[in-house]
Amino acid sequence: MVFNTIVTETIAISLYHILLALTIITVMSENLAKKLIFSVLGGLCLGIIFITRPEQIVFLLSYLVVFVILVLRNRMNIARAIREALPICIIPIAISLLITTVFTLLNAFFLELPALSISNSSAFKETFSQIQSIDDGQNIDDFEFVNINRKQLKMAYQVSPTLNQVKPLIEEELARRITRIGGKDTNIEVAIDGVYWSIIEAIRRSNLTEDRSMYQVFTQINSELQEAFNDKRINRKTFSFDDIDIGFWLTKFPHSLTEMSGYLFLPRVSSKLSSI
């Protein structure tokens, strides 16, 4: 698994470098035919990135290179640089969006998944949003990232029969991840991505997907969690943006500008930052 992670990250970095090279070659070329060919190749590369990486939008920043080069070439004439940059950027971005649209339609037709991947689907995102919002009774008034801890996961098992069915497989996947990094205690907190992929892998391995799609399984889990919230079997956390307190933020300023900014822009939640 670690090897696979290294391989995928290496491929992503390689694709980024290829995309950057194609972008620079496109903008530096004086031949219109070459510009078109390299734009199409750049679009294909960007399309591959879009269907294989979760942080697709970040790679679009490569096209800032186009603007920078053209601004320098046109002696800081920003208006002219923008006019020249638009056609260079539009072609590859349009091709990449076409590729993602085709794959999304194929997923919808063959897998009944209305998204580019299960991790992009609304059902997947809503499931983890609801688990993250479970109030585990440990609301600490401190600046922390939104996360999922083991207590929240255990509470989700109790109110979601579907999720509880795959509990052994989820815990097995989590234990495997803990063992891989040298841990032994199954109560050790796992990074949020580890929780995501452990649940996905557990559902994939289970018999829940024999007569329905994984998207439908996540939709069922969402329904059960929402019903539990409505019935008050579990409570939601209260986030800081529901309680505007400028005075509270200002008191943090003498200690840390970063901490004050965190209170201002991000919610204060009860989960702890994972060390894994």
* pLDDT of the residue at 165: 94
C-alpha 108/C-alpha 125 separation (Å) is 17
* pLDDT of the residue at 167: 92
In angstroms, what CA-CA distances link 102 with 98, 107, 121? 6, 9, 16
pTM for the predicted model, two decimal places:
0.61
* pLDDT of the residue at 269: 38
33, 39 in Cβ contact below 8 A? Answer: no
Q: Pull the structure tokens for residue 115.
A: 């998204």
* pLDDT of the residue at 239: 53
Mean pLDDT by 10 residues, the chain (276 residues): 57 82 85 88 88 72 76 73 79 90 86 76 84 75 57 91 93 83 64 80 88 88 93 77 46 56 47 34
Which residues, at least 6 apart from 249, have a Cβ–Cβ distance to it below 8 Å? 260, 263, 264
* pLDDT of the residue at 51: 84
Q: Give helix 192-205 / helix 122-132 axis angle, nearest 10°.
A: 120
276, 181 in Cβ contact below 8 A? Answer: yes
Ranges of H-type helices in the chain: 2-28, 32-52, 56-59, 64-73, 78-110, 122-132, 150-159, 161-165, 167-180, 192-205, 214-230, 246-251, 257-265
Q: Which of 34, 46, 143, 139 lies closest to 92 in space, CA to CA?
A: 46
69, 80 in Cβ contact below 8 A? Answer: no
Q: DSSP secondary structure string, 46-86?
A: HHHHHHH-S-HHHHGGGGHHHHHHHHHHTTT-HHHHHHHHH
Which residues, at least 6 apart from 276, have a Cβ–Cβ distance to it below 8 Å? 178, 181, 183, 188, 189, 190, 191, 194
116, 51 in Cβ contact below 8 A? Answer: yes
